[in-house]
Amino acid sequence: MPENETTAPSLENLLHETRAFPPSPAFAAQANAQPSLYEEAKADRLGFWADQARELVSWSTPFTQTLDWSEAPVARWFADGQLNAAYNAVDRHVEAGRGDRVAIHFEGEPGDTRTVTYADLQREVSRAANALTSLGVTKGDRVVIYLPMLVESVVAMLACARIGAPHSVVFGGFSADALRSRIADAEAKLVITADGGYRRGAPSALKPAVDEAIGPKDGEPATTVEHVLVVRRTEQDVDWTEGRDVWWHDALERADTFHEPVPVDAEHPLFILYTSGTTGKPKGILHTTGGYLTQAAYTHKNVFDLKAESDVYWCTADIGWVTGHTYVVYGPLTNGATQVLYEGTPDTPHRGRWWELVEKYKVSILYTAPTAIRTCMKWGEDIPAGFDLSSLRVLGSVGEPINPEAWMWYRRVIGGDTAPIVDTWWQTETGAIMISPLPGVTATKPGSAQVALPGIVADVVDDEARSVPDGGGGYLVLSEPWPSMLRGIWGDLQRFKDTYWSRFEGLYFAGDGAKKDEDGDIWLLGRVDDVMNVSGHRLSTTEIESALVSHDVVAEAAVVGANDETTGQAVVAFVILRGEHADRASTPEGAEEVQQELRNHVAKEIGPIAKPRRILVVPELPKTRSGKIMRRLLRDVAENRTVGDATTLADSSVMDLISAGLAKPSAANED
Ligand code: WTA
C-alpha cells in the first residue's frame, strides 16, 4: 500500500476525444507487426514469448523453460538459458558481416561529431571490459555509472554487461548526496564518470560530485568504491586521488581489443536503476538479462517498426533513466539499429537544434517526451518548419500522459500529418513498453496509449480489484508476468512485495490511474500515489519533504505536484518554519531569502531537477485525524482552485489560515 493518501485523478477533460488516425495502407502493408501478432500471443502467451526470445536474442546455452512463477512475485524467465547482453548488442552483428554499419552517430553539444560502427563498438567495449577486469571488477560486482550522454556511456554499460557486472547508472543531474546513497545501497566497487559534459553551451563538472560522494562524510565511513574511472570530455581541471582515480583513455589504451563475453544465466542481474517511490528512500529496481533483453528487442522492433538496414532511430532520453537503458542501449543495439546520440539540450545553440539533427541524419524514428513536445510548441512551429523533417516515419512519446493538443501538434508539425504516433506506457519497473498502439495496426487516438502489446495483459480495476467495464475508471494493473518485469528491489524483497503486489491480490499495481473508453482502449491519467512526474522525471513527494525538513529552518513540509502546462507537473512545497525562524519570513525579502535557501538545499540533497518551483511558507498543514497530510487540498491551493471538501480535517480552520496567509505577497515565490 502506498504510505500516504491516494487520490484518483480527475477523469474530466479526457474522453471527449473522438478522433482516430488509422495507419495508411502503405504503412500497414510494410509494418513489422501485423494484426496476427495479437492472435499468436493470445493463442499461446508463453509460447509466443519463447519464440520472441529465440528469434530476437542469441543464446550461448538455449533455454528449455519459459516461465517459472513458482516463487511469485519473483519471476524467472528462460532460466536455464545462458547469454551475454553485450554480445547480443554488438558482436553478433559484426559476426554476421554487419560490422561496417553505423551503430551511433554521436553529436556533441558544441558540434563535435563521431561515427561509431558496430565493429568500432566491439573493439571499444572489449577494451573497456578488459580495463574493468584489470581494475578488479568481476562478475556480480556493481559498477555505478555517472556520465553525460557520450559514446563512452553506452560503452561503459555494455562493458559491464560483457563481464556480468551489474551497472547502476545515476543520472548526471543528481547531486553528490543522491549519488552517495545509491553507491552505498548498491555497494558499488567502481564508479565511471567524466570530468564533465557540455550543457547549455558551457562545460559542467561531474567529477567533484563523485569525489564528495565516495569519501568519508559526516561520520560515515568511505563507501565501498575502490576505483574511479574518468572519461575526459571537457578538459577541465579535476582533483586527482592517485591509486584510486584512473583516466578512461589510459586504461583503454593499455587494454586488449579482444575480450570474450562472459556467458551469464538468463536471470543474472543486468542492472539496478534507482527510481523514486512513495517513501524518502529511492528504490533500486533490479532487472536481469534474458527476459529484459527479449522484451527490449521485441518492443523496439514492433512498436517503432524498426527496419535496421534503412532506419535512423533517435531516442532523446538520457541514459540515466530507464528509457535510455532500454531504448538507447539495449533495444536498438540488440536489433542492430543505427541511431543518433546527442549530448546536449534542445535549445543549444538555437531552438532548432533537434530538427537540424533530424534533417542532418535523416532520422526516421523519433522517440521523445510530451514535455519536450510542449516546449517546442511554445517556441512556435516556425522553428521546425525551417528544417526538412520528411524522413520521419514513426513518432513515439513516453514518460507522462500526452495531452491531445500536444499529440496533434506532434503529428501535424513534426510528423507531416502522416507519421503514426505511438504513445508508449511503461515504467522503470516494467523494463520495456507494455501498452502502446502498433503503428501499422492500431487506429491511434490523441492522448491514449490504448492497448496492451501482444503478450502483455493489462487491466483497469476498481478498489476491489474488479475489472471495470468499458467507460469506467480505476487503477492500472498488470495481470500476468512479463519477461522484462523487475525481479525485485535491490536488497529489499519485502518492500518489493508491499509496493507492487499487496494492493490487489495477485496483480501488479502500477501506481497509475486509468480509464477505459467505449472501445476498451486505455487512457492513462497520471499517478495515484505520492510520486510526481515533472518533465517526465519521476520524483517522490516524500523524498523532497525529507530533504526540506533536513534543513534547520524547517519544522514541517508537504510537497505536491501541481499541474503545469509545459512540464506536466511542477513541484510546490508548503513549509512551516521553526519557531525561531518564523520571523525571518515575515518580510518579502526575508521570505525570498528563506525560499532561495530551501531551493538550493533541495538541489544539494537530491539534484536541481527536484527544486520546488514554488515554496509557500504556511502556519499549518491540513491533516486528517490520523495525522495524514491531505495533499489533495494543498494541490487545490497550488493550482489556484477553490479548496475541495475539507470535512475530514482534524482542524477545519487550517485551510482558511493557509489561504489567508497566501494572500499576502510575501508568501509566494516563483522562479
Ligand atoms: C508515467 C518511464 C502516461 C506513468 C518509462 C508511469 C506515462 C511513470 C506514460 C513511469 C505514458 C510513462 N502515458 N503516463 N505513455 N509513460 N508514464 O519509471 O505515471 O520514469 O507510472 O518510466 O511515468 O516513469 P518511469
φ/ψ bin of 420: left (φ > 0), alpha (ψ from -120 to 50), beta (otherwise): beta
> Letter for the amino acid at 238?
V
Q: How far apart are CA 490 and CA 186, in angstroms?
A: 7
Closest ligand 1 atom to 511 CA? 21
Q: 608-634, pLDDT tens digit by residue?
A: 999 999 999 998 899 888 778 888 899
Which of the residue ranges 37-41, 146-150, 563-567 would you say has the lowest mean pLDDT?
Answer: 563-567
Q: 520-579, pLDDT tens digit by residue?
A: 999 999 999 889 999 889 999 989 999 999 999 999 999 999 999 899 999 999 999 998
Instruction: Indicate whether 604 pLDDT > 90.
Output: yes
Measured at the alpha carbon of residue 612, what is the angle toward residues 635 and 326, in degrees to the nearest 5? 95
Q: How far apart are CA 327 and CA 432, in angstroms?
A: 8
- Pocket flag, ligand 1, residue 275 (CB < 6 Å): yes
Closest ligand 1 atom to 321 CA? 20
- Pocket flag, ligand 1, residue 315 (CB < 6 Å): no
Which residue has a Cα nearest atom 4 of ligand 1?
A: 400
Which residue has a Cα nearest atom 8 of ligand 1?
A: 427
Torsion of CA 652, 658, 660, 666, to 10 degrees: 170
- Pocket flag, ligand 1, residue 398 (CB < 6 Å): yes
Q: How far apart are CA 638 and CA 541, in angstroms?
A: 14
Q: Identify whether the C-beta of residue 136 lies closer than 8 Å to the C-beta of residue 369.
A: no
DSSP state of 220: B
Which residue has a Cα nearest atom 1 of ligand 1?
A: 400
DSSP state of 610: G
Closest ligand 1 atom to 524 CA? 3
Q: Identify whether the C-beta of residue 438 lies closer than 8 Å to the C-beta of residue 460.
A: no
Determine the angle formed by the axes of helices 151-163 and 118-134, rounding to 10 degrees.
60
- Pocket flag, ligand 1, residue 31 (CB < 6 Å): no
Name the phi and psi angles at 118, rounded to 5.
-65, -35
Q: Identify whether the C-beta of residue 331 lies closer than 8 Å to the C-beta of residue 324.
A: no
Pocket test for ligand 1, best of 425, 436, 448, 535 (most atoms within 8 A of CB): 425
Averaged over 138-165, what is the pLDDT? 98
Q: 420-434, pLDDT tens digit by residue?
A: 999 999 999 999 999
Q: Residue 356 burial by CB count (10 A; 0-12/13-18/19+): exposed, middle or buried?
A: middle
Report pLDDT for 607.
94
Averaged over 62-72, what is the pLDDT? 98
Ligand 1 center–CA 274 separation, angstroms: 15
Instruction: Indicate whether 389 pLDDT > 70.
Output: yes
- Pocket flag, ligand 1, residue 561 (CB < 6 Å): no
Instruction: Indicate whether 469 pLDDT > 50.
Output: yes
Which residue has a Cα nearest atom 14 of ligand 1?
A: 400
Report pLDDT for 279.
76
Pocket test for ligand 1, best of 295, 533, 537 (most atoms within 8 A of CB): 533
- Pocket flag, ligand 1, residue 538 (CB < 6 Å): yes
Q: Percent of the chain, pLDDT > 70?
A: 96
- Pocket flag, ligand 1, residue 400 (CB < 6 Å): yes
DSSP state of 17: -
Which residue has a Cα nearest atom 10 of ligand 1?
A: 427
Which residue has a Cα nearest atom 3 of ligand 1?
A: 401
Torsion of CA 602, 606, 608, 609, to 10 degrees: -110
Q: Percent of the chain, pLDDT > 90?
A: 84
Report pLDDT for 663.
56
Report pLDDT for 15.
59
Q: 254-301, pLDDT tens digit by residue?
A: 999 999 999 999 999 999 999 988 777 889 999 999 999 999 999 999
Averaged over 43-59, what is the pLDDT? 98
Q: How far is CA 43 from CA 36, 38, 40, 47, 438, in A?
A: 10, 9, 5, 9, 19
Report pLDDT for 320.
96
In our burial notation (b when 16+ CB lie closer than 10 A, e otherwise), range 495-525 reads bbeebbeebbeebbbbbbbbbbbeeebbbbb
Closest ligand 1 atom to 526 CA? 19
Q: 401-423, pLDDT tens digit by residue?
A: 999 999 999 999 999 999 999 99
Averaged over 326-353, what is the pLDDT? 97
Q: Identify whether the C-beta of residue 374 lies closer than 8 Å to the C-beta of residue 380.
A: no
φ/ψ bin of 492: left (φ > 0), alpha (ψ from -120 to 50), beta (otherwise): beta
Closest ligand 1 atom to 537 CA? 20
Ligand 1 center–CA 242 separation, angstroms: 42
Closest ligand 1 atom to 423 CA? 15
- Pocket flag, ligand 1, residue 424 (CB < 6 Å): yes
> Chain-wide mean pLDDT for the chain?
93
- Pocket flag, ligand 1, residue 531 (CB < 6 Å): no
- Pocket flag, ligand 1, residue 122 (CB < 6 Å): no
Q: How far apart are CA 461 and CA 118, in angstroms?
A: 45
Q: How far apart are CA 411 and CA 409, in angstroms?
A: 5
Instruction: Indicate whether 4 pLDDT > 80.
Output: no
Ligand 1 center–CA 70 separation, angstroms: 29
Ligand 1 center–CA 534 separation, angstroms: 11
Averaged over 298-327, what is the pLDDT? 98
Averaged over 362-383, what is the pLDDT? 96
Ligand 1 center–CA 515 separation, angstroms: 15
Which residue has a Cα nearest atom 5 of ligand 1?
A: 427
Pocket test for ligand 1, best of 400, 434, 444 (most atoms within 8 A of CB): 400
Ligand 1 center–CA 395 separation, angstroms: 17
Report pLDDT for 14.
55
SS3 671: coil
Averaged over 71-79, what is the pLDDT? 98
Q: How many CA atoms lie within 13 A of 366 on its CB side?
A: 27
Which residue has a Cα nearest atom 7 of ligand 1?
A: 400
- Pocket flag, ligand 1, residue 601 (CB < 6 Å): no
Closest ligand 1 atom to 428 CA? 18
Closest ligand 1 atom to 436 CA? 15
- Pocket flag, ligand 1, residue 425 (CB < 6 Å): yes
